Amino acid sequence: MNWKKPKVYAVKHIDSEVRAASRSGGIFTAISDEVLNHGGIIYGCVLTEKFEAVHIRAVTADERNAMRGSKYIQSNLGDVFKQVIKDLNDGKQVLFSGTSCQVAGLRSFLGKHYDNLLCIDIVCHGVPSPAVWKKYLQWQESKNEGKIQNVDFRNKKDYGWAAHIESLFFDNDKKVDSRVFTTLFYEHSILRPACYKCPYKDVVHPGDITIADYWGIDKAAPGFNDNKGVSLVLVNNELGEQLFQDIKDELDIRETKIEDSMQPPLKAPFDIPDNREQFWVDFYTTDFETVAKKYGGYGFKNDVKNSLKKIKRKIKRLIKR
Ligand SMILES: Cc1cc2nc3c(=O)[nH]c(=O)nc-3n(C[C@H](O)[C@H](O)[C@H](O)COP(=O)(O)OP(=O)(O)OC[C@H]3O[C@@H](n4cnc5c(N)ncnc54)[C@H](O)[C@@H]3O)c2cc1C
Ligand code: SF4
């Protein structure tokens, strides 16, 4: 049974390399290391060679490492629920990680409690459609006359934890930093329909532990933020608490308050944008460049608009002073 109110922590993994390889503070690695060290199995999301997000089963740290980093598209679960049930029935310790609806879906599929199952869910903004991601990559490849070799949905290495810039690495040695997919994500038209009525936009979650980026950290734990990543950790029940105690030596921790941690996806689902229907008509009937210009902040007109906005903000700040 999950508590009505979680225990709340700000967490940084003590190994700076782990933190650099993780989206926020590296809590997922600390938890999954504990499970792997006891012969357990990890389920989570990786990116395939075709840059599709899928869930896989991992039994080594190397396989698990591919799960690090947020892939901001819907992950295909394939038949992992069947693999999970087999591992559980074989008496193996299993850690399943995913969005809240994936964790809730697994619990409902299992239909009963298993002592050997641990679940982590992520605080989830919503998942973009993989079809938009695919068309976006094709557009970037044709524009840059090369094949994409690697992608980083949110380049923390070059821009720091708080920034949101996607980077694409090409076989012709080009590196492209862009905000087109990021902008589409935050404009919300590309989210899956279920995300607009998500029942997990709340402090109560289906995981034993819930993890997120700790937005609001400067208020919740002043001085803790170094822009290299801090995880928000919600411990939701006794099982989660026991696990959290077991990994404490790997972590730098501050106990915080839920009131200081309330980012929008912990409060309510996002509204369906007024232009969502039009977006999808345009997506299927025009080329991606037109979509990128109309909805993704791409192109000269958008650059001018953004520069003007920046100048206005600067003038306002000067006037205030
Ligand atoms: C689609 C999506 C939306 C998110 N929205 C928010 C948000 O609104 N606010 C917020 O604070 N944090 C959000 N996050 C979660 C957050 O960014 C990190 O997952 C969390 O901070 C864990 O930190 P870590 O350092 O332990 O990360 P990592 O080690 O990088 O965590 C990796 C974990 O994320 C899981 N994962 C990665 N991509 C996916 C995917 N597509 N589907 C399911 N699971 C995935 C992996 O299985 C693994 O468990 C989102 C993540 C995703 C994938
Ligand atoms: S927003 Fe809710 S419904 Fe959408 S993927 Fe995330 S957890 Fe699932």
As a whole number, the mean pLDDT across the chain is 96
Are 171 and 42 part of one and the same domain?
no
Are 297 and 153 part of one and the same domain?
yes
Are 108 and 14 part of one and the same domain?
yes
- pLDDT of 306: 75
Are 181 and 220 part of one and the same domain?
no
Domain span holding position 28:
7-124+196-265
How buried is 133 (Cβ within 10 angstroms: 0-12 exposed, 13-18 middle, 19+ buried)? buried
pTM: 0.95
Q: Which atom of ligand 2 is nearest to the CA of 121?
A: 7
Instruction: Answer yes or no: is 32 within a domain.
Output: yes
Are 169 and 57 part of one and the same domain?
no
Are 110 and 15 part of one and the same domain?
yes
Are 234 and 135 part of one and the same domain?
no
**CA of residue 120 to ligand 2 center, whole Å:** 14
| Helix, strand or coil, per DSSP, at residue 298 | coil
Percent of the chain with pLDDT over 70: 100
**CA of residue 245 to ligand 2 center, whole Å:** 28
Instruction: Answer yes or no: is 278 within a domain.
Output: no
Are 86 and 148 part of one and the same domain?
no
Instruction: Output the six-digit token pair for 40.
Output: 């357990």
**What residues does ligand 2 touch, defined as CB less than 6 Å away?**
99-101, 124, 126-127, 192, 194-195, 198, 200
Are 298 and 258 part of one and the same domain?
no
pLDDT tens by residue, 31-56: 999 999 999 999 999 999 999 999 99
Which ligand has the minimum distance to the alpha carbon of residue 192?
Answer: 2
- Count of structural domains within the chain: 2
Instruction: Answer yes or no: is 275 within a domain.
Output: no
| Helix, strand or coil, per DSSP, at residue 127 | coil
| Mean pLDDT of the 145-153 span | 98
Instruction: Answer yes or no: is 150 within a domain.
Output: yes
Instruction: Answer yes or no: is 142 within a domain.
Output: yes
Instruction: Answer yes or no: is 183 within a domain.
Output: yes
Are 50 and 109 part of one and the same domain?
yes
Are 97 and 235 part of one and the same domain?
yes
Category of 149 on φ-ψ map: left (φ > 0), alpha (ψ -120 to 50) or beta? alpha
Are 117 and 51 part of one and the same domain?
yes
**CA of residue 142 to ligand 1 center, whole Å:** 29
